[in-house]
Chain A
């Protein structure tokens, strides 16, 4: 199919949901205000309830209840996808995620497949304020049998959903809201400077490079939601300082598979890990903990973590800018590491 313009990430995601519900009548879409004509707070579920009225359930405002309900469906062999309207509210569903969805896989002595995806729109830079802008990924890291993924402009959502629903373990998909209106990348091209490929497989990390994928001054590891900001920084670092960044965008955040990273990561010896979550106990620390034993002796500088500030995320945009990771934050960190 020829597209005059590349597909938006939200369209790719919506198309994936249509494909999942069409392919398998056991797949459900459950969430608050997900039915048409509203189609979800971010319109990601639009068109689903009209086409698949029996598979789409618009629910009361009950995050704990609907994730628990999804657990009951999954235990019955169904494959529910749950939308949490704002990822911040996944806190209300922490019990069923921790003590039900993930536990059920392993606590009954034989493996119980729990095919569930909990979708969480996350992230700020939209002025939504302290409880509608967070990136709660770190709160769900390290739970046995719970897999964490993040939406990316490189990874096709249909393949991703197929993978998450086939895994037999519950998944949480974090969707940085800033991505919804961005366009998917296609044909190995990011822009006039950068290209990308998938060194391991199309569901492994995307590798964004300038010239050769094997030569870089600094490797930046960042989840999909940070792509725009990291690319922005990388472009300026090259144009202003001739610093070459290799950017790695994993689609699976946890468990983090360090073995799938390309060898260039050791060659550079300088690594920056970026996340939008606030400082302390974050995903970057988990990535660094996975990388240190592999790269010990080959690093030329300590792995640098870039996070948002250890503060509440303000509603006023100029104040929010100061708290959240921006392109400048990444730029400064890479510059510092490159000079180390």
Chain B
């Protein structure tokens, strides 16, 4: 008997989506290389394996919506702005840094995009922004990215309660990658995220897979409904973290990591659409390399008293 490998069909991606996915992938890989070679210090958290989340959501969000990001936010930033230079410059503390080198990897702000480095903190903040939007700009929404680990933080529940009571246009995107730093989800989360959302009377949508076109199609209506009939919504992506939590701190078995790799969108798109993929992959690999060379050659940002006065 032959065992036939069954793989769900992957929709052909739009070039723009594939480019954005690969831009993020090569940005993160480049970042880890720069760390290894000592060209970057401090800390960072890459989103390897989770790039499809913000790419799928991208056309469902417009510029007047707020996006709140977290410690693992490079993909969220790149999906919104498509601008790796300002982000890498921020992480390297070099000229052109989006937050002048003060925020670094975890504290980014640009237009209506904002990230913070404290788990769960951004959910009440997003609720506040959603309250302002509901009052001043009906039809807009606030979207906040959190992980499975963030559900240990009490502030989230305070915010979900208020968001549900006051019918705020708030979308909670949960990137459940199965692991919080080094702790598997099963060891840190009792019950389920679905159950927790439902406890507040909040709808919960479960998203599996990495097919950005299919995911987007599925989320278009529910996201539109948040705008037309404001209410919070939890969208839980079942995803994987391919890389370390930070840098070089992955304690998972090689076998586990190999199995995760099988689920990576990268391999799937490559197998399904080899020519389209190869061209995009080359483009984005080159872009990441050029970006790294160019930004590394820039001068360090100077301290600017005018921007951070007491």
Contacts and interface: CB of A to CB of B under 8 A. Distances in A.
Interface string A46-67: 0000000010010110101111
Contacts of A69: 124-125, 127-128, 131, 159, 162
A99 B116 contact: yes
Contacts of A67: 124
Nearest to B135: A54
Contacts of A228: none
B309 interface: yes
A144 B132 CA distance: 26
A99 B142 CA distance: 20
A4 interface: no
Contact of A65 (B109, B142, B155): B155
Interface string B122-146: 0111111111110110000010000
A70 B131 CA distance: 10
B129 A73 contact: yes
A67 B118 CA distance: 15
Contact of A100 (B125, B166, B307, B309): B125
Interface string B100-112: 1111000111000
B162 A62 contact: yes
Interface string B145-180: 000000000110011011001100000000000000
A183 interface: no
B308 interface: yes
A104 to B, nearest CB: 8
B307 A70 contact: no
Chain A's interface size range is: 35 or more
B102 A106 contact: yes
Interface stretch (A74-82, A171-179, A280-288): A74-82
B252 interface: no
A129 interface: no
A68 B155 contact: yes
Interface in B26-75: 66
A277 interface: no
A74 B132 CA distance: 9
Interface of B: 66, 97-103, 107-109, 114, 116-118, 121, 123-133, 135-136, 142, 154-155, 158-159, 161-162, 165-166, 304, 307-310
21 contacts: A60-B161, A62-B158, A65-B155, A65-B158, A65-B159, A66-B162, A68-B121, A68-B123, A68-B159, A69-B127, A72-B126, A72-B142, A73-B128, A76-B128, A95-B118, A96-B121, A99-B121, A106-B102, A107-B103, A108-B103, A109-B103
Interface of A: 54, 57, 59-60, 62, 64-78, 80, 95-96, 99-100, 103-104, 106-112, 144-145, 255
